[in-house]
């Protein structure tokens, strides 16, 4: 699809708040969410030629955002593990006491990456199971069952 900057901006203006909410849920901090959205928008703009139709823009850009969040999330986990390992190798370091996850954000963090994407696209992106299934190359019924299990998992964590 051929698109100029104004056309891209017009399409982006319809989804930017949903993108930010999705990224915030995935990344857990507003700064990281803003970075992820910015990176995803740049990637999308650079590859706008791969978009087949304007109707597919929302699904297409959310897929890019989900992949961007996933990459940043993995990078952060590796860095955090390195920091924790260096913390525990210090002689004076005492093992920190970890509090139990009780809020929604921590319950969301317990979900697998795929579950987070499904819940995030559904709740924050407003996608149907058919649209999510198309983006993730899964059947709508598989998406619904994974969504149900993910929400049940979160519910158990929140009840504790």
- What CATH number is attached to the domain comprising 49? 1.10.1740.10
Q: Do both 32 and 104 map to the same domain?
A: no
Which residues are CB-contacts of 136 (< 8 A; sequence separation ≥ 6)? Answer: 114, 117, 118, 143
The answer to whether residues 74 and 2 belong to one domain is: yes
CATH number of the CATH domain containing 155: 1.10.10.10
Same domain, 88 and 115: no
Residues 130 and 54 in one domain: no
The overall average pLDDT reported for the chain is 81
Determine the pLDDT at residue 28.
76
The DSSP line for 6-75 is: HHHHHHHHTTHHHHHHHHHHHHSSHHHHHHHHHHHHHHHHHTGGG---GGGHHHHHHHHHHHHHHHHHHH
Q: Which residue has the tokens 């139990």?
A: 100
- Whether residue 90 sits in one domain with residue 102: no
Answer yes or no: do 58 and 45 share one domain. yes
Give pLDDT tens digits for 78-132.
777 666 555 444 444 443 333 433 467 778 888 888 898 898 888 877 888 998 9
Q: What is the pTM of this model?
A: 0.59
* Residues 120 and 87 both lie in one domain: no
- CA dist., res. 84 & res. 103, Å (int): 23
Q: Which domain holds residue 35?
A: 1-96
Does residue 71 sit in the same domain as residue 107?
no
């Amino acid at each position: 699809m051929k698109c100029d900057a104004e056309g891209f901006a017009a399409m982006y203006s319809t989804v930017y708040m949903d993108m930010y909410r999705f990224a915030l849920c995935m990344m857990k901090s507003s700064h990281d969410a803003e970075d992820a959205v910015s990176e995803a928008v740049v990637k999308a703009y650079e590859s706008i030629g791969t978009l087949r139709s304007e109707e597919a823009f929302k699904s297409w850009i959310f897929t890019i955002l989900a992949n961007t969040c996933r990459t940043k999330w993995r990078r952060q986990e590796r860095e955090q593990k390195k920091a924790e390992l260096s913390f525990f190798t210090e002689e004076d370091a005492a093992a920190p006491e970890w509090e139990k996850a009780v809020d929604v954000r921590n319950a969301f963090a317990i979900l697998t990456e795929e579950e987070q994407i499904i819940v995030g696209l559904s709740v924050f992106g407003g996608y149907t199971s058919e649209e999510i299934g198309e983006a993730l190359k899964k059947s709508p019924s598989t998406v619904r069952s994974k969504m149900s299990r993910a929400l049940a998992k979160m519910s158990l964590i929140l009840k504790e």
